[in-house]
Amino acid sequence: MSCCPACLSDAIEEFLSYQSGVRGLSANTVTGYRNDLAKLASLLDGQRPLDSITREDLRYCIGELTVAGAAASSVNRFVAAVRSLFSYCRRFEYIAVNPAQELHTVKQPKYLPKFMTISEVNQLCAAPETTALLWTTRDKALFEVFYSSGCRVSEIAGLTLEDFSPDYTSALVRGKGGKDRRVFLAQNAVAALKEYLPERQERLLRHGGTVRGSCSALFLNNHGGSLTTRGIRYILSRYSGVEGTNNPVSPHAFRHTFATAMLANGADVRAVQEMLGHSSISTTQRYTHITTAQLVKTYNQAHPHGNSRQDGDSGE
């Protein structure tokens, strides 16, 4: 057993180093832990001895966050971080009893993921050509790859030319937890990519790249560097804003739309789970609720006795 941390703040720093250095968690995940555990140290005093912290102390912290107006999802993320911290401390015998073992999350409302209709996603994918706001071929390829692959925004930003099959019909992406999976690209996405790639090469050469290119990222910014997640969000905000479709969406809406479309058209839920890189089937099953809701809506709109009919309307 290693030397016990002197106080809560020391334990937090050791825990974060362990998550980053030993478990190899992503920088974003470690930052999330750091932000939540900083709240814990602030509420309980970071210099407090570990073995003096009780379950009632942790419940007090949850109550304080709730009173301050924190969303249920934020409170539950805080609870998860606290559980992980004290589980780590108990594992290495820094404490005799885990005060977070019976710590409960708070109930949060169930929101169905926002997705686009077929006409909406088609309109958005066509927006780079119809509006010519930024870099037409890049932006069209970006949207088509989003919709075709179901990737997260971080996965799109991380794509390189080497990740693709020779015919660009599939790519290997690295998802959460460093897990690799293969995603697939439909004909529209492949065609858009092939139109964009020559311009990508020209942009590299213009900014001092070699014939092979100095940047391996698939999507480039205007200066020939890698397009970041922030840059992708900016591009989408322009095309889905008042200058474009006037239907603002986030990059994740493409992922939701992909999942909904796949399930609505008969794809097996476990196959969709694999394509999305979900670790739990329950995460993927959220989208079955969307497709069911859409079926009910369609039924009520189309059936003569549907709930959307007004009293006295015979439907004739």
- Which residue numbers are catalytic? 152, 176, 252, 255, 278, 287
CA distances from 61 to 54, 55, 82, 98, 210 (A): 11, 10, 10, 16, 55
* Other Cβ atoms within 10 Å of 245 Cβ, number: 19
Tell me if residue 195 falls in helix, strand or coil.
helix
* Other Cβ atoms within 10 Å of 160 Cβ, number: 14
Sole residue written with tokens 């999330």: 32
- Here the contacts of 168-171 (C-beta below 8 Å, separation 24 or greater) are 168/193, 168/194
Beta strand segments in 175-277, E: 180-184
The pair of three-digit structure tokens given for residue 189, joined into one six-digit string: 């996405």
Which DSSP state fits 20? I
Which DSSP state fits 170? E
The pair of three-digit structure tokens given for residue 286, joined into one six-digit string: 């959220």
Residue 140, sorted as left (phi over 0), alpha (psi -120 to 50) or beta, turns out to be: alpha
Output the furthest CA–CA distance in the chain (Å, rounded): 81
Task: Note whether 260 and 291 are within 8 A (CB).
Answer: yes
d(CA 114, CA 285): 14
